[in-house]
């Protein structure tokens, strides 16, 4: 289960997110579970990756309220609790 402050990435599209609010759901991207990134070591690889200018776009799960910040954005679809995560700021219909 994701914990606040942890970072996860997708092995397929290389999307990377940081957990802002914990939820009970499992973070999924490109149809598979995102992988936990250890705080040290592997992070070195990411320093050259392009980061979002404003610190990342927040996405939230409407089911478990898990919230993440997209650190390295790709075209991959973020999912949690079996549904797409919603980009925060947009008005939910
Ligand atoms: Zn992905
Ligand atoms: Zn969820």
**pLDDT tens per residue, range 67-91:** 999 999 999 999 999 999 999 875 5
Q: What pLDDT digit, counting tens, does each position of 20-38 carry?
A: 999 999 999 999 999 999 8
Asked if the structure places residue 1 within a domain, the reply is no
To 5 degrees, how large is the angle CA 35–CA 38–CA 42? 95
Mean pLDDT of the region 27-52:
73
Q: Does the residue 19 lie in any domain? A: yes
Distance 33 CA to ligand 1 centre (A): 9
Residue 41 banded pLDDT, cuts 50, 70, 90? low
Total number of domains in the chain: 1
67 Cα to the center of ligand 2, angstroms: 8
Q: Which domain holds residue 82?
A: 7-87
């Amino acid at each position: 289960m994701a914990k606040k402050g942890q970072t996860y990435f997708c092995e397929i599209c290389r999307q990377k997110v940081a957990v802002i609010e914990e939820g009970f759901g499992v973070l999924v991207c490109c149809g598979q579970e995102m992988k936990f990134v250890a705080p040290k070591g592997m992070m070195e690889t990411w320093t050259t990756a392009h980061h979002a200018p404003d610190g990342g776009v927040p996405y939230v799960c409407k089911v478990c309220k898990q919230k993440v910040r997209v650190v390295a954005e790709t075209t991959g679809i973020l999912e949690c609790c079996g549904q797409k995560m919603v980009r925060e700021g947009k008005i939910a219909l």
